[in-house]
């Protein structure tokens, strides 16, 4: 997905910050050793998730940002690449026009990709990758490399997306794993954690940003609490299935996306865009 230019909030083709630069965040965690590698606000390198994974093998200096992350990536031979596509430039230009004309918030729009994996030996990993909020300030880092993921092969793992600034207030991925450790099914853990954080934010701050999570335990049972996104489940014997979620009073009902929905999704992503 980091290489797919039409997916506009991850990797190549990700949407830029307010200075029209693509700054990427990513993290990788190993559920056996609890090793973590993370990068923030890295520019001009392809596949930030591979750089984060490489950093997880280090004993110290596991999270690098900006120039330091770029120097590490360069020294380790990762592919340098201009990640700003012409399509992303048009989105940037159009958003500027919309902001001028309609005074909409520059920050609308974010879609981290988060994954939780379990292999045949029982090892679990979790990872996130994102270009973060569209039109963010230079150097802004969201939840993705900080608290947007957590995994422990003895329990399970979780990954989150939504408004990073709000997600960080709850360390929600860790909270989901903690709930699974208490014996909660991943679906229950996702619903409890999201409902709790959403309620807390609304009570204390009057509003809450989007919060979406996926989780899996070490038996391969999964759950999700998703607002406005789709998610995918795949196994070694089952082709990837795309699911959509209806949230009814805090309870999630997942249904398989239809062929029609999938076709429309791809058409929408890939349709030509016109400079306003």
Nearest residue (CB) to ligand GLY, 37 versus 132: 132
Total number of residues binding ligand GLY (CB under 6 A)? 12
112 classed as catalytic: yes
Residue 164 within binding range of ligand GLY, rule CB under 6 A:
yes
Based on the shown chain and the rule CB under 6 A, indicate whether residue 143 belongs to the binding site for ligand GLY.
Answer: yes
Q: Does 16 bind ligand GLY (CB under 6 A)?
A: no
Interface region with ligand GLY, contact rule CB under 6 A, candidates 50-58, 159-167, 179-187, 257-265: 159-167
Closer residue to ligand GLY (CB): 155 or 159: 159
| Choices 125-133, 171-179, 192-200, 264-272 (CB under 6 A): range interacting with ligand GLY | 125-133
Using an 8 Å Cβ cutoff, are 110 and 142 in contact?
Answer: yes
186 backbone dihedrals φ, ψ, rounded to 5°: -50, -35
Considering the complex, what minimum distance in angstroms separates the CB of residue 228 from ligand GLY?
A: 13
Of 112, 128, 130, 245, which residue is the catalytic one?
112
Q: Which stretch binds ligand GLY (CB under 6 A): 57-65, 87-95, 130-138, 219-227?
A: 130-138
| Smallest distance, ligand GLY to C-beta of residue 136, A | 7
For 126-158, letters b (16+ CB in 10 Å) and e give bbbbbbbbbbbeeebbbbbbbbbbbbbbebbbb
Q: How far is the CB of 261 from ligand GLY (least distance, A)?
A: 24
Under 8 Å CB-to-CB from 89, ≥6 apart: which residues?
A: 16, 20
- Which residue's C-beta sits nearest to ligand GLY? 142
Query: Does 50 help bind ligand GLY (rule: CB under 6 A)?
Result: no
Residue 21's contacts (CB-CB under 8 Å, 6 or more residues apart) are 43, 84, 138
Q: How far is the CB of 161 from ligand GLY (least distance, A)?
A: 5
Question: What is d(CA 60, CA 140) in angstroms, rounded to the nearest whole number?
Answer: 23
Interface with ligand GLY, residue 212, by CB under 6 A? no
Closer to ligand GLY by CB, 132 or 223: give it.
132
Nearer to ligand GLY, 155 or 170 (CB): 170
CB of 203 to ligand GLY, least distance (A): 22
Q: To the nearest whole angstrom, how small is the minimum distance from the Cβ of residue 218 to ligand GLY?
A: 25
Residues binding ligand GLY (CB under 6 A): 110, 112, 130, 132-133, 142-144, 161-164
């Amino acid at each position: 997905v980091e290489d797919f230019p039409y997916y506009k909030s991850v990797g190549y083709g990700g949407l830029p910050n307010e200075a029209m630069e693509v700054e990427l965040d990513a993290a990788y965690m190993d559920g056996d050793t609890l090793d973590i590698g993370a990068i923030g606000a890295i520019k001009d390198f392809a596949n930030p998730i591979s750089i984060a994974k490489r950093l997880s093998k280090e004993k110290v200096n596991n999270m690098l940002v900006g120039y330091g992350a770029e120097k590490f990536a360069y020294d380790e031979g990762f592919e340098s690449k201009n990640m700003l596509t012409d399509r992303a430039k048009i989105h940037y230009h159009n958003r500027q026009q919309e902001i001028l004309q309609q005074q909409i918030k520059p920050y609308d729009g974010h879609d981290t990709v988060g994954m939780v994996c379990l292999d045949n030996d029982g090892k679990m990993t979790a990872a996130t990758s994102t270009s973060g909020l569209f039109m963010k300030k230079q150097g802004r880092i969201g939840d993705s490399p900080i608290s947007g993921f957590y995994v422990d092969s003895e329990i399970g793992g979780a990954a989150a997306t939504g408004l990073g600034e709000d997600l960080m207030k709850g360390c929600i991925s860790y909270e989901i794993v903690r709930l699974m450790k208490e014996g909660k099914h991943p679906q229950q853990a996702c619903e409890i954690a999201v409902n709790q954080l959403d309620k807390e934010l609304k009570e204390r701050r009057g509003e809450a940003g989007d919060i979406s999570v996926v989780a899996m335990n070490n038996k391969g049972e999964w759950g999700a609490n998703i607002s406005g996104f789709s998610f995918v489940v795949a196994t070694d014997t089952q082709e990837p299935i795309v699911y959509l979620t209806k949230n009814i009073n805090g309870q999630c009902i997942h249904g398989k996306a239809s062929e029609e929905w999938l076709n429309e999704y791809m058409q929408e992503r890939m349709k030509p865009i016109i400079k306003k």
